[in-house]
Amino acid sequence: MFCLACGQLATGGRRSTPVAVGDTADVPPQPSASVPPPPARPGPAPATGLEARRAPITPAPSGALPQLVFTTGQTLLVEEGTVLVGRRPDEIAAREGARAFAVDDPDRSMSRVHAALQFGPDGLRVVDRGSGNGTVLRRGDREDRCPEGLAVELVPGDELWFGSVGARVR
């Protein structure tokens, strides 16, 4: 799982609250990792992931080409056909007759060919190409890892995570 604020891999460990020596009687018990904390008071959810870094997304007008806006600042306009996305997808894309989109990833969390984006009459889809860190789809409050080799439909507002690099579908 990745940190919603910075996109880095989260280990799932807990932080402990520092306690002054001799002050242990007033320390509340730490919540169990298996029990979620109680819900916060009603109100809008705080911005997370890409929402914290990007303006609100409005649906694209009918007939408009989809875009992916990456946390790197790059934008990909997805035209009909297949686009291979990764750190260095050029060679494989040329071999397969697809377009290539190289993503700036100095942390090397993306594979050279991480995923394929397919756009056609049936809409936009993503296919994980057996990447080392996987492709994760966030839609609303749900998060799913994309199965290797299976096309997953995308809609405006979806967030994709290719390793620690995020992208928002417009």
The pLDDT of residue 37 is 52
Domain ranges of the chain: 49-169
CATH number for the domain formed by residue range(s) 49-169: 2.60.200.20
- 3-state DSSP assignment of residue 24: helix
pLDDT tens digits for range 114-150: 999 999 999 999 999 999 999 999 999 999 999 999 9
Residue with the bigger pLDDT between 49 and 132: it is 132
